[in-house]
Structure formats: structure tokens, C-alpha cells
Structure 1
Amino acid sequence: MSLTDYLKLNKHKLFENLRKSLPSSIIKTQNVLTVNDGVLFVWDFQDNCVLTLNIKAVHSRNDESIPHQILLPTSSSRFSVELLRANSTNTLLVVAGGSGVLVLELPERCPPYGNFSNNKEIVYCRSHSLDEHLLLSNPSIEVRQVRFHPASPNQTHIMVLTSDNTMRFYNMENSSAVALGVYAVGKRPKGVMPGSKAFFLGLFGETAIDFDFGPPEVDEPSLFDEEKEEDEESSSNEYDRDEESVILRKFNEMKLHGTVIKENAKNVHWPIFLLDGLGAVFVITIDLKNDVTPRVRGPLPTWPAYDQSYTNDACALLCHTSTPPVLSVATINGTISHSIVLPFDDDKENKLRRRNRDLKYSDEPDRAMYTFETLELELGLATTNDLSDYCCPVFLHKDESRVGHYFASHEAGVHAISVPVVENMAQILNGPDDENFMERLVNDSSTVDYVLCTKMATSSKVNPVIGFSVYYNPTSMIALLGKGQLVSMLLLSFTPLPCTYDLLPEDIESFKSPLKKMLSEPFDMQIYKILRQATSQPILKLSGTENLSQQECYELLQRATKVFKEEHFKYYEEAREEIEKRVKVLKMLKNFQTTELQKLMKERQNLQAKAENLAEKYEDIKDKQELFKKRCERLLIMALKAKGEPSDAELQFVDELKSSQKKVEMFITSINKLKNQNKYQEVQMVNWHKEQNKKETGLASVQSQTIKANLQDMTNQISTMMNEITEYKKKLGLK
């Protein structure tokens, strides 16, 4: 199995055809490949269509003959495609470029390969062009970014950012594209540079170039209103705060309030963070249900402020799904800054400054950015110590499989970036109180791995990444290069072993020994933190026409050797020393525990012998107790027999017997009387029937009814008496 073709896609017919149709003029980074729910979508430049393949079926069945499909839009694209993006339900696919946005309606998937529309080779998809006339007729307006709104119930709401500082909102409903709104996110550019299609504001970096959705926020009274009132009262004394104290206070507030949604919460909003070419960040909230025109807030204050040497080349923005949000801002020279967004309190100086500012295009910000680190990406593999001044756009991609992990793709390859602060913040906000939480927050610095290199720093030839996505079953990265190579690599995500907290002592927090950290943190996590600092050597996928000289090859080998020797092996040595320390400590603990175990075994034997003696004594005592019990019973019987006069209980029992005998005799007498009466009644009834038969004329109807009623009553009384007699007999035991 090839390390650079883990999913076995290079030999598939789809990519064999795609390599033949790729234009040779691609020299800049694009993103014409996306993977969603195991389905890969890629743009075919030659036939102007979308090629799709079920990667999950190919990888699980290990079958390269699974057919791919061609998705043909009903209306062809009239622009150069640079971006593909599918919604989470795989019902819509966005095909976007600088001069247009085309939305394809995807049909349902069906077995056996999970393809669309009964596994047809060619599938016609209903397509909708968003504002086609505006984007094609006005070359100065370009599409900068397209994303699906995460709050959309059916994933049909689409946000489009254009170069005229405008956010356009659409919804795909009833097989048609409906424009929901057009929102200005800054000053509308008017003048166009002569001989160019770009606006003046765009050339000066004052237009929005990218946006991303932040974590949802609850529409409720501000979580910090009470704290703000207290701060305003205390600000009358004009005290000074430094930057560190502000950050600590904000985190304390976040830790107190957390992310609990209160009962008075009305709606959930998704803030949108906007980035302009100067590196400034703005915030706007567009509600799907509310028709109120949203206002832009910003620019967000930044501490420390951006260095003016690289504020005019921002190119990408990514918001991590954390609370509070963490923003990653990339520039074309390979610099990525990480900032935490926290609620913002205005002091007097800032309030006066904002009063004088023109609030026509944006409102005052309610949050600020605290930059805690800046990373430098290596844009091209350098064989010498000389720094390269190569610049190119950088695209940021989320990795949903790992918290705080994302990728950066560019013309020189792919970088994997890990930000431990995102995971640490979740532990701080949701974990127990810790006075040293700020130290824990910034203790782990971010790491950058150069995963894939497509350009040498000393060469002008590029092999740009024109498609990048992450496949999650298993987690793998897929990168399509400008020369047709497809790289699919397995991402080894580290999952620490669960800590056996039930084996730890209850008072571990009171320990002040060096073993406290060892017992509280899993050992595999410690080794992982050490090894992840090692600098990795990227996989080279250079341009096919690149011919390196022997000197360049030697320098490349020297660089790789130096990296492994100086920046890689030393961390393995550190890990080895840590393992040896751990082994030594565990041996000492083992010897101590062995000694304690021997003592416990002796105590166990002693306790077992004592238990056996106690068991024998218990059996003897139990036998004697049974013997004494039987002797007491015999003595009691003998004493009762020897007694001449009856006891009170016996006398009471005799009285009860005599009373019962009298009642029985009385009941027998009553029963005999009832029997005699019954016989007499029977004789009378017989005589009466005889007399009735002798009479020639019958009785009147009234008399007959009266007699029948009386006889029925007497019969009922007799039956009742018979039942009572039977019950008495049962009680007295008489037959």
C-alpha cells in the first residue's frame, strides 16, 4: 500500500481521465475538489461538469472498478471554476468562480454503490445561477467566498461574499433560487483602477476577502452586564489595566458563566466573522427568521496590534468551533496568527476615539481579539538557511475529526496545524477551578507539520494544490495537484488512553511530590507531547518537468539529514529518557508494593488463622445454645404438667368453649323450629293446591298476585334462613 495513495484512487478511471483533461495553465491554488459523506466531487475542466465517486465503497470493497458518475448541470457555467462546496446532506453542490456561482441540485443516492439517480453514468442535475447577469456583466465584482449557513434547517441557505463589500443571501426552495437579501459589510467601492478590473478599495486591502461562521450565540441579556456595571463604577477612580489583567478577567468571566443557555434565551444566532485585506476582522449576524437589516460591528480591536509590515496581505480566515471562539488569520507570506475573541469593554480613550469615527458603515464592536501566537509557514522546501520571500494565497481547511486541528493548502504544498489552546479552553471552562488556568492555556504551543511539499524554495516552477479535502472513514487527507497527481494520506490522530481515576488516591490534589503530575496525566499523553514537537520531513510532489541537479539533490539530502538529526531525533532521545525515568520510578514503586504485598500476605494468613479459631468457637457455642434451648423446652413442659390448678388462659379457653356450646344448642333449636315450620308450610301448600283444584272458579287477579307475592317473600325468607343455618353449621363444625 502506497503511503501517498492510501485510498487507492490514483489508478481509478476517474482520475486517469481527469489528468488528461487538466489544463497546463493552472499556476494558482484552487479548491475544485471536495468530499462529503464519503462522496468525492471534482470539477472536470475539459467537459465543464462534475465527476463524482463514492470513496467509501471503493475503500471498503477494495475495488477500483466501481464506476464514477458525471454530473451535468442543465445550464453550463460561463466562468472559470475555482471552488466546489457541498452541503452536509449532499443535496446541493455549489460550483463557484470569480465571475459566478452555480448551484446543482443533487438527486437521491441508491445502492449498491451509493451513487446518484440509480447509478446512471451521466446524471443531469437541475442547476441555478445566482445573480448571473450582475456577476457576468460587471467584471469588477468578483466572488470571494461561498458557504452554506449552518443554521439552515435543510442546508439550503447560501451566503456569497463579493468584492464590492457585499454579502448576498440566497435560499434554494421549490427548485428555484430565491434572493433573501443583500447586505453591505463595509464601504461600497466605486472607482476602478485604470487598466484593471479591481476597485481602488480592493487594491488598498479595504474590502472583505473571506468570512467564516462562529459558534452559535444566545440572544439574551449580556452575560457580562453586571460585571460591566461594576467596572464602570470602579472606572471613575481611573485605574489602569495592563493587557494580561484584561485577558485574565475575561477568562474568569467566561469560566463563571460558561456556555449554559438560560431560560430567558430567545433565539440562537450564528455570528459571521469577516476578514479584509488589511487583516482587520468584523462581525455581522444574519438571522434566518428576522427581517431586520443586520449591522456590521468592527473592526475588532486587536491586542497586540498587527505589525504594519504584513497587514496588507491577509488572505484567509478560519473560526474554530470553541467557546470563546479562536480565529486563525493567514497572510500570503505564510504567516498565521491565532487570536481568542472575548467580550470587549471600552475605556474612556477608546470611547472618545470611536465617537469621532464615522459609524456610517459599521457599529462599535462588542468584542476584541487577543493574539496569543503567530506561526510562520515554510512556503517551499529550502535547502539552505536563507529565508524565502515567496508569497502565495493560503487556504485554510477545518479538520472535524480533531479539536483545534486544521490544514493550510497553498501553491507550495499542504501544512497540518494543531492548536492545543482550543482543547485546553474547553477543559478550563468545563473542568474544576484552577488558579493556574492561564499557565495551562498557553503552556502548549501550536505545532506545524509540512505534510506535502510541491515546490522548492530555489525554483520558480510550482505544482499548486488545486483541490483539498478531508475524508473521515478513516481520517485521511486528499489533495489534487496542478500536474494531476492525487495524494491521499492517512492521518494518524492520537487518542490518549483513559486515565484510571479510580486507582488514584482521593487526596491526590494535596500531594506536593513530583509524582503528582505523573499520576494525574496519562503517560502516553506526555510522550505524545514530546514527540509532536519533532519537525517532520514533507513528502515531495514536485512538478513533473522539474529536473534537479546533483548539487540540489545533495543539498536536499543534507537538509533532510539535518532536520532528522537536529530537529527530530533529539525529541526521541528526550522521549527515551522520559521512558527510562518512568521505568525506574515504576520499578521502585513495584519493589515497594511487593514488600507491602508480602506484609499483607502475612497479615492475611494471621487473620485467616484467627478467623478459623473464631469459626470453631462459634460452632461450639451454637451447639451448646441449641442444647440449652431443648432442655428449657422440656423443663417448661414438665412444669406445666406438675401444676394442679389450671392457668388463667386455660380457664378463659374453657369459658369460651361453654359459651360456644350454648350458642350451638340454641342454633340447633332454632334450626329445628325452622324445619318444622318449613314442613308445615309445605303441607299447607299441598292442601292449598288441592283446594284450588277443587274450586270451579279461580281467584281474582288481584288476589292471585297478592298470594304469589306473599309466597315469594316467604320463600326468600326461608332461603335466607337456610343459608344462615348452613353457615352456622360450618362455624360450629356440625354436619
Structure 2
Amino acid sequence: MANIKNLIAIDGSERIIWNPEVGHLEVYEGEQPKQNLLLSSRPYFTVKDIKLSPVKNLIALIGDNGVTIVELPRKWGRRYRGSTKEGQIFCKTSNVNNRLFTCEKRLRTLHVAWHPLGYEAKQVLCLLTNDNRLRFHDVTADLELQVIDLRIHQSERQEKSFIDSDGGDGLCLGISMLNLGEFGICFDFGPPTVVQEPDVLWPIYILMGSGDVYLIYTNHQNPTYSEHVIGPLTMLPQAEDNYGADACSLLVLDSSPPMLAIATPTGTIYHCFAFPDEKGVLSKQTLYVYEAIELSKDLIANPDDPYSPHPMRLFNDPTSDIRYFCAHENGVHTIVLPILDSIRTPDYEIIEEKESFSEFLICTRTSTPSDGLLNQDIDDQSTPRGLAVEVRQTGSVLLVLMPNNEMITHRISPATTLINRKRFPRRTLETSRDSNDADHEILNLSQVDASRANFDEQIQQILKRKTSIPMLKLSENLEERKQFNEVARRAVTVFQNEYLKKFDLAAEAIKKKLSILEKDMHNQQEEYEKVAQDKTEVYNIVVALASKAEMVCKKQKELLSRMDKVLAAVSYGHPDLSEAEAKLRRELSAINGKLHFYRDQLDSVVNKHKYHLNQKDPAFSANSDLILSEAQLNGIQETLARQGSEIADLKRAVKLRESTE
């Protein structure tokens, strides 16, 4: 594990800091006075790391020669301030596997972490030691649960590799057969996998010094899962240098599929996606290298030692899953991965290949000392002693603890905002020092295709920064006085290239845009005046046409009235009968036929009546006539006159219809 320390932990709004000078924990909360957590038994080793348990009732003090567990009081914090003398609280401590570290003097801890699945009754601490063993210790019951020996699995793998080397790929087996760096240096937990309720497997990725990665699945209820050590995991695409011959830090980002960030002492970080080879509980995984990020840890180039391998340590960001931090001897970098934000979208068609970008946030030393060694303890006034992220109401703040117990605070923006706001291409600061190349690249920014992007995007494209000046927190005893001039020159160059020149380009683009807009406005004003004149002319024409339309409408009404009269006359003299007239004609014909029929019937009845009278009284028929009263005669006459007039009318109507036909 890298020698970068971490002596700070965050619990909500409280900051817990280990003070190595006095040997106790200090708690800070806002503007409240600090609290001192005094230990019942101080650790007998130098504390290099502190880690808060998932339940947040225990804190582990980690050193090379052991681990001490501090039991935090249940009423510690703001509720307990008034009941202690000068803010001092005594805490119970216990050593993890004290017998082992006491008997084995050469045993060293390389990496220690709490198991994510922890509850108050059972909290497990995972320890990776220099004997290539991974130990699981229940700190609540002070019981060692399981020990996994990585050497056995490595020897079996090397035997198999040696036997199959003739038919295999010798490129990937060279470093393994030489057994260089085949020891674990750090590990990290991946996203859990549900095998069968309630069994949950937690994968542990173990990073070797050679850069190889092993995989172990752990389960507290069934330790047999941990007996299978899978690895080393294949890294694709293959590289001749096996992606570096050494490694110093590992971080697993919470994504699906999980992404591993592997850091090397040279400043290169590899981002790898872990895909399972086949479906199954204990399936092997393959690491697909997505990209490589090169961090420039030196603000000023060191020509005496351009390689300068020095350790780095990766820290996760609790506020974002797509960002993490990298601490090294010269300060702190932040790395943002837009690809992790893209793969979460439900529509996989819109996923784009996006490059990650880094930013130098805090610089504590201008250049790395040339005599630094990778395995040498780092304890000076420039290397950060701890890093944490505190969430406040006003936003997230990055806290960096310096060796003089000074706390550096740096406000950090949300990762999604950084993705949309700016990008820092993967390049070294030495490249950015070439002013000619910088001027050439800046001029190319002005050639943005305006047809493909609007003006706001064009200005944002011009103002994008490729390098930045971090927050400087330098010590007073610089080796040479000229470093001040170099830092000032570097800052002036960056501000000139990344700010002033781009502001000038943006101002020039705005002036050009303003000139174009003024010309457009002038043309639009002329067009407006022309349109107003055309409007007046059109209005006059409309008025004239309206009067003509009114006269035409009046004339049209007169013509329609005359046309109706003509149509009525034509219809009256037209030989064709309408349906109603034809129906009336049929009714009149039927009535006429009935009249003839009734007349014949009446004549028949009269003749029969006369016949009967003649048969009854022959003298009556010959000598006497029918005598009717005057009233009867009048009634008969009126009836006959009426029927005669009706018959005459019917005849005239029939003749009229016949004449029209």
C-alpha cells in the first residue's frame, strides 16, 4: 500500500482527526469547541490510517504493526459536551489479534478495511498483511473468522502456467513466472451479489504489486465461498508491459458493471470494467481497460528525474459515484468519469464514448523530490495527511489535512455540473508549457462551425480550459528561491493562455456577432419600413376593393331576385310535371273513373226502380209521373248543381293537364 496517510474521518457534521503528537482523537463540529477522545490504551505503533465502521460506533486506528479499535461513547458529540471536563472523553480501546502481531515481529499490515455488511452485534475488519494473507476479524467478539492464504493459490497458478507455457501466450505469463511483485498491496469491495435469499456475496478485488488483480467472494454465513481465489483476472486488450509492472492503489466504483481504478506510482490510472466470463455464482471476471489517465503531479517539471515514481492513494467520493480523488506527495487530484453517468440511462442507444478528465485541485509542493523512494515513509510538511469530503448545507467541501494540523478546505461542484461545464484533456503540464502549441490550439478554437452549434455553445467552446492552476498551499522552506519565479511564471502563462487570450477571442467573437446582429437589425429596419409602406398601399387598395365589393354584392342580389322570378315563370310553363302534380293527376283520374262508375250504378238503380214500379202498377208507369215535394226538388237541384260544378271543374283540370302533356 502507498505510504499516503489518512488521519481524518467524517461522521455527518463531525470531523474526527488523529493527533499523532499527543496520541488521541480530536472531534470538531462547526464552531463548537473541539473534543478530545482520550484512549484507555494508546497504540504501540505509529498510526497511519483511521477508518470509521459502517455502524459508526467504532473507529480503527491502523498502523504497520497492528490495529487498535476505539469504542466511541454512545453520548459523544454535542449531547456530551456539558458533562465532561474541558471537553475530554475517555474511550475504551482494544487491539485486533494482539497475539499475532506481538509474536510475529515481521508481520506488517498493508491494507485494512471494514466489511460493508456490518451491524452493531457483528462488525468485521479485513486485514491484508505482508505474508500474503487476508484475515477476517470480528472485532465485536474479538474472534478471527477466516484466513485466506493467497500464496497457495499463486503457487498452484504458477505451476499450471509453467506447464502450459508452451501452448499459451507467453506475453501474459512472463511477470507471473518471475514472481515479481506477487504480493497483495490493497483491496476493495465491489457491489454485492445476491445468490439466494438471504445469502449475499461481497466480491473483494485484491491488487498485487505487479498490477494483477485477484477476486474473492465473501459471505459471513458460509465461509466456503472465500476458499476460491479467482485470478489473476485477464486484462483486455493485452499490452506488452501488462499495463505497468507495478501498482500502488485500487478503488472499485459503484456501477453496473463495476469499474476498477488502478493507480501506478508513475501517475497513470487505468479504468477497467469488470465483466463476468459466464453466468454463475463464482464466475471468473475479465477486466476490459476502458482508458488510461495520466496525472501530472508536478506543477514545475523536474528535469533531473522525469520518471519520478511516487506513491498515490485513491479515495472515493461519498457524494458522487462518478468521481473520486487521488492524493499524492504534491497535492490532490480529482477524476470525473462521464461514462458512468451515461450507462445509467435506460436508453442504451444514447450512450456515448466519453473520456474521463482530471483536475489538479490542491498543490502542496511544486515538484516531486528526485530522491524519493516508493517504499519509503512519507512524512514531511508537504504531503497531505488525510482527505475527506464533508457535506454541508451550502454544498460539498473537500477537506485536506496537512502535517501541521492545518485543514485546507476546497468547495467542490457536483460531478454532473463539471461534465457539462468543462473538460480537461488527458495531457501533461509539460505539453501545456509550449506556448506556440497553446496559441495554435487556441486559434483553432475560433474555427468552431457556427452552423452546427449556437452562439452560446461557441462561446463556451472558446472559453474551455485545458489546464488550470490548483489551489497553492506551499511550505515556506522551498529548496530554491527560483521556484517562486517559476510558479509565478507558470501562473502568468496559464492565466494568459487559458483566460486572457480566450477572453480576447470570446470578445472578438462577441464583437463579430454584434456586428452581424447590427447589420441584421439595419436590414430588418429597412424591411420594416418597406413593409409599412406596402401596408399603407395595400390598405388603400383594400378600401377601394371593399367599396367595389359592396356594389357588386348589391348588384348580385338584384340579379338573384330577377333570376328567381324567371325560374318561377319557366317552371310554371314547363311541360314536365312535378311529383306532386303527377300524384294529383292520378287522384283526379281515379275520382273521374269513380264518377263514371257511380253514374252507371245510379242509372241502373233508377231503371230497376222503374221496372219494379211498372211491374207493381202498370197504370202508374204509363199515366202518372213521380210527384216530389218542393223541398225535395230544391234539395235535388242543389245537389245536382253542386255535383255538376264539381264535375265541370274536374273536367277542366283534366283537360288542362292533358294539354300540358
TM-score, with length taken from structure 2: 0.61
Where in structure 2 are the equivalents of 1:113-262 lying within 5 Å? 121-154=87-120, 156-173=123-140, 176-187=141-152, 204-219=180-195
Q: Kindly tell me: are residues 564 and 102 of structure 1, through their superposed partners in 2, closer, same or farther at Cα, counting changes over 3 Å?
A: same
Q: Which residue of 1 aligns with 2:396?
A: 475
Asked whether 1:298 is paired with 2:231, we answer: yes
Q: Give the distance between the partners of 2:262 and 2:269, measured in 1 at CA.
A: 5
Q: Which residue of 2 aligns with 1:447?
A: 358
Do 1:92 and 1:156's aligned partners in 2 also have CA atoms closer than 8 Å?
no
**1:362-382 deviations in whole A, cap 9, x for unaligned?**
x99621111121122223321
Do 2:65 and 2:109's aligned partners in 1 also have CA atoms closer than 8 Å?
yes
Q: Give the distance between the partners of 1:571 and 1:217, measured in 2 at CA.
A: 50
Offset at residue 544 of structure 1 (A) = 3.3
Q: Kindly tell me: are residues 421 and 531 of structure 1, through their superposed partners in 2, closer, same or farther at Cα, counting changes over 3 Å?
A: farther
Identity between Structure 1 and Structure 2 (%): 26
Q: Which residue of 1 aligns with 2:251?
A: 318
Do 2:39 and 2:70's aligned partners in 1 also have CA atoms closer than 8 Å?
yes
Q: Which has the higher contact order (CA 8 A, sep 6+)?
A: 1
Q: Which residue of 2 aligns with 1:357?
A: none
Do 1:53 and 1:115's aligned partners in 2 also have CA atoms closer than 8 Å?
no
Do 2:96 and 2:139's aligned partners in 1 also have CA atoms closer than 8 Å?
no
**1:206-247 deviations in whole A, cap 9, x for unaligned?**
111111111122326xxxxxxxxxxxxxxxxxxxxxxxxxxx
Offset at residue 143 of structure 1 (A) = 0.8
Q: Give the distance between the partners of 1:477 and 1:377, measured in 2 at CA.
A: 19
Do 2:54 and 2:119's aligned partners in 1 also have CA atoms closer than 8 Å?
no
From 17, 36, 55, the equivalent of 1:70 is 36
Q: Kindly tell me: are residues 573 and 202 of structure 1, through their superposed partners in 2, closer, same or farther at Cα, counting changes over 3 Å?
A: farther
Q: Which residue of 1 aligns with 2:412?
A: 491
Q: Kindly tell me: are residues 138 and 590 of structure 1, through their superposed partners in 2, closer, same or farther at Cα, counting changes over 3 Å?
A: farther
Where in structure 2 are the equivalents of 1:646-657 lying within 5 Å? none
Q: Kindly tell me: are residues 563 and 125 of structure 1, through their superposed partners in 2, closer, same or farther at Cα, counting changes over 3 Å?
A: same
Offset at residue 50 of structure 1 (A) = 1.6
Q: Which residue of 2 aligns with 1:565?
A: 496
What secondary structure does 2:320 align onto?
coil
Q: Which residue of 2 aligns with 1:553?
A: 484
Where in structure 2 are the equivalents of 1:575-590 lying within 5 Å? none
Offset at residue 119 of structure 1 (A) = 7.9
Do 2:71 and 2:93's aligned partners in 1 also have CA atoms closer than 8 Å?
yes
Q: Give the distance between the partners of 1:316 and 1:406, measured in 2 at CA.
A: 13
Q: Which residue of 2 aligns with 1:240?
A: none
Offset at residue 274 of structure 1 (A) = 0.8
Q: Give the distance between the partners of 2:139 and 2:275, measured in 1 at CA.
A: 35
Q: Give the distance between the partners of 2:519 and 2:135, measured in 1 at CA.
A: 67
Q: Which residue of 2 aligns with 1:100?
A: 66
Q: Give the distance between the partners of 2:325 and 2:231, measured in 1 at CA.
A: 27
Q: Which residue of 1 aligns with 2:50?
A: 84
Do 2:190 and 2:252's aligned partners in 1 also have CA atoms closer than 8 Å?
yes
Asked whether 1:369 is paired with 2:281, we answer: no
Offset at residue 532 of structure 1 (A) = 6.4
What secondary structure does 2:10 align onto?
strand
The one-letter amino acid paired with 2:328 is: H
Do 2:113 and 2:125's aligned partners in 1 also have CA atoms closer than 8 Å?
yes
The one-letter amino acid paired with 1:179 is: E
What secondary structure does 2:142 align onto?
strand
What secondary structure does 2:44 align onto?
coil
Gaps of 5+ in 1: 1-26, 59-65, 191-199, 221-264, 347-362, 500-512, 599-735
Do 1:83 and 1:96's aligned partners in 2 also have CA atoms closer than 8 Å?
yes
Do 1:452 and 1:538's aligned partners in 2 also have CA atoms closer than 8 Å?
yes
Offset at residue 286 of structure 1 (A) = 0.8
What secondary structure does 1:554 align onto?
helix
Gaps of 5+ in 2: 156-175, 373-379, 421-448, 532-661
**1:100-158 deviations in whole A, cap 9, x for unaligned?**
01111101246746769768622221212111121233233211111121122348222
Q: Kindly tell me: are residues 131 and 555 of structure 1, through their superposed partners in 2, closer, same or farther at Cα, counting changes over 3 Å?
A: same
Q: Give the distance between the partners of 1:585 and 1:281, measured in 2 at CA.
A: 59
Do 1:300 and 1:365's aligned partners in 2 also have CA atoms closer than 8 Å?
no
The one-letter amino acid paired with 1:422 is: L
Do 1:384 and 1:555's aligned partners in 2 also have CA atoms closer than 8 Å?
no
Q: Which residue of 1 aligns with 2:7?
A: 32
What secondary structure does 1:389 align onto?
coil
The one-letter amino acid paired with 2:192 is: P
From 338, 342, 351, the equivalent of 2:275 is 342
Q: Give the distance between the partners of 1:172 and 1:448, measured in 2 at CA.
A: 39
The one-letter amino acid paired with 1:178 is: L
Q: Give the distance between the partners of 1:206 and 1:83, measured in 2 at CA.
A: 24
Offset at residue 336 of structure 1 (A) = 0.9
**1:585-626 deviations in whole A, cap 9, x for unaligned?**
9999999xxx9xx9xxxxxxxxxxxxxxxxxxxxxxxxxxxx
From 385, 402, 413, the equivalent of 2:331 is 413
Q: Kindly tell me: are residues 189 and 364 of structure 1, through their superposed partners in 2, closer, same or farther at Cα, counting changes over 3 Å?
A: closer
Q: Which residue of 2 aligns with 1:273?
A: 205
Q: Kindly tell me: are residues 460 and 280 of structure 1, through their superposed partners in 2, closer, same or farther at Cα, counting changes over 3 Å?
A: closer
Q: Give the distance between the partners of 2:23 and 2:82, measured in 1 at CA.
A: 19
What secondary structure does 2:223 align onto?
coil
The one-letter amino acid paired with 1:553 is: F
Q: Give the distance between the partners of 2:514 and 2:282, measured in 1 at CA.
A: 58
Do 1:336 and 1:375's aligned partners in 2 also have CA atoms closer than 8 Å?
yes
The one-letter amino acid paired with 2:210 is: L
Do 2:276 and 2:283's aligned partners in 1 also have CA atoms closer than 8 Å?
no
Do 2:322 and 2:415's aligned partners in 1 also have CA atoms closer than 8 Å?
no
Task: Please list every run of at least 4 consecutive aligned residues from structure 1 whose deviation after the TM superposition is greater than 4 angstroms.
Answer: 110-120, 200-203, 383-387, 457-462, 494-497, 513-519, 526-533, 567-591
Q: Give the distance between the partners of 2:133 and 2:506, measured in 1 at CA.
A: 52
What secondary structure does 1:370 align onto?
strand
Q: Give the distance between the partners of 2:258 and 2:217, measured in 1 at CA.
A: 15
Where in structure 2 are the equivalents of 1:623-662 lying within 5 Å? none
The one-letter amino acid paired with 1:367 is: Q
Do 2:329 and 2:368's aligned partners in 1 also have CA atoms closer than 8 Å?
no
Q: Which residue of 2 aligns with 1:389?
A: 307
Q: Give the distance between the partners of 2:460 and 2:18, measured in 1 at CA.
A: 39
Q: Kindly tell me: are residues 518 and 132 of structure 1, through their superposed partners in 2, closer, same or farther at Cα, counting changes over 3 Å?
A: farther
Q: Give the distance between the partners of 2:333 and 2:247, measured in 1 at CA.
A: 17
Q: Give the distance between the partners of 2:145 and 2:310, measured in 1 at CA.
A: 35
Q: Number of aligned residue pairs: give it.
A: 468
The one-letter amino acid paired with 2:220 is: L
Offset at residue 567 of structure 1 (A) = 4.8
The one-letter amino acid paired with 2:317 is: D
Q: Give the distance between the partners of 1:201 and 1:52, measured in 2 at CA.
A: 49
Do 1:465 and 1:482's aligned partners in 2 also have CA atoms closer than 8 Å?
yes
Do 1:106 and 1:116's aligned partners in 2 also have CA atoms closer than 8 Å?
no
Asked whether 1:464 is paired with 2:380, we answer: no
Offset at residue 580 of structure 1 (A) = 9.0
Q: Give the distance between the partners of 1:211 and 1:68, measured in 2 at CA.
A: 34
Where in structure 2 are the equivalents of 1:679-698 lying within 5 Å? none
Do 1:208 and 1:274's aligned partners in 2 also have CA atoms closer than 8 Å?
yes
**1:389-413 deviations in whole A, cap 9, x for unaligned?**
2222111111122331111111121
**1:397-434 deviations in whole A, cap 9, x for unaligned?**
1112233111111112111111212112212xx2x241
TM-score, with length taken from structure 1: 0.56
**1:481-509 deviations in whole A, cap 9, x for unaligned?**
23443312222336659x9xxxxxxxxxx
